Amino acid sequence: MNELKITLPDNSTRIVEKGYTPQDVANDIGPGLARSVVVAKVNESLKDLNIPFTEDCHLELLTAETPEGHNTLLHSAAHLMAQAVKFYWPEAKLTIGPAIDNRFYYDFDVKETFTDDDLVKIDSKMHELSKEDYPCIRCEISRKEAYTLFEKMGEDYKLEILEDIEDEELLTSYSQGDFIDLCRGPHVPSTGKIKYFKLLSTSGAYWRGNENNKMLQRIYGTVFHSKKALKKYLFLLEEAKKRDHRKLGKELKLFTFDDEVGSGLPLWLPNGTVMIEELETLAKDTERKAYYDQVRTPHLTKGSLYEKSGHLEHYKDSMYPAMDIDGTEYYVKPMNCPHHHKIYASSPKSYRDLPVRLSEYGTCYRYEKSGQLFGLMRVRSLQMNDAHIYCTKEQFKEEFLAVCNMYLYYFKIFGIEKYSMRLSLHSKEGLGKKYVNEPQLWEKTERWVREALIEGKFDFVEVVGEAAFYGPKIDVQVWSAIGKEFTLATNQVDFAVPKKFNLTYKDENGDDQTPLCIHRAPLGTHERFIGFLIEHFGGNFPLWLAPIQVVVLPVSDKVIAYSEKVVSFLRDLNIRVKLNDRPDKIGSKIRQAEIDKINIMLIVGEKEESNLSVSIRRRFDGDMGKLSLNDLKNLLVSEISNRRLTHS
RNA sequence: GCCUGCGUAGCUCAGUAGGUAGAGCACUUCCUUGGUAAGGAAGAGGUCACCGGUUCAAAUCCGGUCGUAGGCUCCA
């Protein structure tokens, strides 16, 4: 049989001779596709374009505009970069060079570190190598051949990688010019396909991501199918920097850090404090409606409490060291749970009392290592929107789902659409170490959580080895403006600690039972949540959340008295209003208000004074004409009390 | 914690064959009373992050500390 049947995505078929390759098919279809195709999908698996067909198959020809094609291009660009690095640093040892979200990197073991000048040098060498258009040649090799080859080349890391590859797996190498790498592929057919790239940054990175291993030199870069797409990506990176909460936090005077206070310890300025207060008000309203009770607990606690809870054992390194008080060790609290357990235990409980929902906006302190600190997203003093729900097994599902739905309720208020729910599970290897050694309980609670999520129709992904030490959890992941991933909110099941604290309730038969505990923080920490909101809104907060809601701008000194009346009228309505009575022109005052991202500007002159009105100008909308004070009141009060989203 | 940058006025930044500092904005005062993104003038403001070293002389060179940026590792 010398003929094969190739089925294309539109279900059309082509009969080709044996020896035909995906690239040949692309050439037959047209020169445009022949040029832009980077990789083939043959019966659902990705293959190089120049591997001949061996059987009848489905074929999809992918350009770098598709996610999988882009991935292949990124990966090939990593090889091209490695080739350029090897040209200048022949002694550099290769490790790994994968594609990641819109970028690629390659880790090298080199004596010196790469400088910005080196990047320029490597970049231009890459362009040369691209112009040479070396074919990327795939070669199947035996384990022994691979071992001999890479040993001869002195590529120690490749030898280590070889040892980890399963015996039966097919080994392949890829070469282009005089560069050769152990790689599974697939790759673009030749280096000429890699044209529109830019090297972005360098950094250190541990071999195999283990901090006990040697630190390697990493170079990040990006590549796209067109110059336009590359420029667009670089532009987006620049735009993202403008939304960075650290930059906006300074510009909008929300928070600050001071060397003499200490790193990771934010000082909340008046504007930022307003936002915290608004968040707490929202949380209190929401929790009151959901039958939570608020509690308060101290910042200091004896070490024995954390020994009992297991926190000292699991998190001692990230707790502030103990202070000796009259011979007893005390710690500043890194979390509120043990205190809430003690509140639960302060009086006997019946099944009729459950669920018990205790909430607190407590400040905790965690000794995050210096390198982990990141603006408001990772801090050492944090205010948690915390609560613990104690319930029976029968109540668990409903309570758990109610918490998940509370997330969604909040997300709707803030217009948060891009997030991902992660079901974080334990790992078998971690039992007795990272995780409490209760294999059956783990299985059982993980099943409950999974079932609850499915029943509640939540989309989620499961990740092994990300659970809390006492149980599985749901983490809501979001991304900061500059692309860092963060856990914004968390919902955790605890089947272990209530037992350690001897928490009980009497069931219908008068027997003691241990409640389950749900730890939840839908608004995470105020620090991180506000950091996220700053970037989410780009500093243009909805009116209810804005530190300064309204600014009154008198056209001249003649109307200052009337302006002050407008201000006190609004202040009496609990609206956060400021008066700009500086002797500047109105244009200058408007400009200042725009820079401060103030939502509503009220322009007041003699015309307005004559009929007790104001001229309203809204950010993004411009001049919106005159309004009577009463209409103004209705507009503002309705928008604020409904927590309306004014703009995205 | 680790790797590599960086740290000059409140903010954004200039300032190298080492010779004790400059701009714009902001701030203060005065003039201007102006209608939807910058009116004008004058003034004040810095132990060049901190500590130590080299030197006749250090913002500049070297070492350390602290802070910060990009990553790595970690995150109850």
Q: How far is the CA of A263 from the C1' of B58 (A)?
A: 29
Largest CA distance in chain A: 97
- Domain boundaries defined on chain A: 3-63, 70-242, 300-537, 550-641
Query: Of all nucleotides in the shown strands, which has a C1' nearest the CA of A116?
Result: B5
The verdict on domain A550-641 having CATH code 3.40.50.800 is yes
Low-confidence ranges of chain A (pLDDT < 50): 648
Q: How many CB atoms lie within 10 A of CB A139?
A: 13
The verdict on domain A300-537 having CATH code 3.30.930.10 is yes
User: What's domain A70-242's architecture?
Assistant: 2-Layer Sandwich (3.30)
Query: Of all nucleotides in the shown strands, which has a C1' nearest the CA of A314?
Result: B76
- Burial class of A135 by CB neighbour count within 10 A (0 to 12, 13 to 18, 19+): middle
Res A1: pLDDT: 61
Alpha carbon separation from A208 to A215, A217, A503 (Å, rounded): 10, 13, 43
Mean pLDDT computed over every residue of chain A:
93
Report the phi/psi class of residue A375: left, alpha or beta, with left for phi > 0 and alpha for psi in -120 to 50.
Answer: left
User: What's domain A3-63's architecture?
Assistant: Roll (3.10)
* DSSP state for residue A209 in the 8-state scheme: G
Query: Of all nucleotides in the shown strands, which has a C1' nearest the CA of A216?
Result: B3
Q: How far is the CA of A74 from the C1' of B4 (A)?
A: 24
Q: How far is the CA of A249 from the C1' of B22 (A)?
A: 28
Res A603: pLDDT: 97
Q: How far is the CA of A592 from the C1' of B11 (A)?
A: 15
Q: Coil, strand, or helix at residue A540?
A: coil
* B74 C1': nearest CA residue: A372
Question: Which tokens is A114 given?
Answer: 């790469």
Query: Of all nucleotides in the shown strands, which has a C1' nearest the CA of A592?
Result: B37
Query: Of all nucleotides in the shown strands, which has a C1' nearest the CA of A311?
Result: B76
- Burial class of A44 by CB neighbour count within 10 A (0 to 12, 13 to 18, 19+): exposed
Q: How far is the CA of A644 from the C1' of B70 (A)?
A: 37
Q: List protein-proximal bases of chain B (any atom < 7 A from a CB).
A: 1-5, 11-12, 31-39, 66-76
Res A173: pLDDT: 94
A381 contacts A363 by C-beta, under 8 angstroms: yes
Q: How far is the CA of A262 from the C1' of B50 (A)?
A: 14
Res A647: pLDDT: 60
pLDDT digits (tens, 9 = 90+) for A332-384: 999 999 999 999 999 999 999 999 999 999 899 999 999 999 999 999 999 99
Res A646: pLDDT: 76
Q: How far is the CA of A125 from the C1' of B53 (A)?
A: 42
Q: How far is the CA of A584 from the C1' of B39 (A)?
A: 8
Res A648: pLDDT: 45
Question: Which tokens is A385 given?
Answer: 């929107």
Res A579: pLDDT: 96
Q: How far is the CA of A375 from the C1' of B22 (A)?
A: 31
Q: How many CB atoms lie within 10 A of CB A632?
A: 22
Query: Of all nucleotides in the shown strands, which has a C1' nearest the CA of A467?
Result: B76
Question: Do strands A356-360 and A293-294 pair parallel, antiparallel, or not at all (unpaired)?
Answer: parallel
Res A204: pLDDT: 92
- Nearest CA to A505 among A308, A323, A348? A348
Quote the CA–CA distance of A469 and A452 in Å, as a whole number.
21
Res A116: pLDDT: 83
- For chain A, the first-to-last Cα distance in angstroms comes to 61
Q: Scan for tokens 């083939």, then name that residue.
A: A40
- Nearest CA to A390 among A354, A417, A414, A421? A354
* B1 C1': nearest CA residue: A369
Q: Scan for tokens 């920097």, then name that residue.
A: A241
CA torsion sign, A246 to A622 to A279 to A491?
A: negative
Res A219: pLDDT: 95
* B12 C1': nearest CA residue: A251
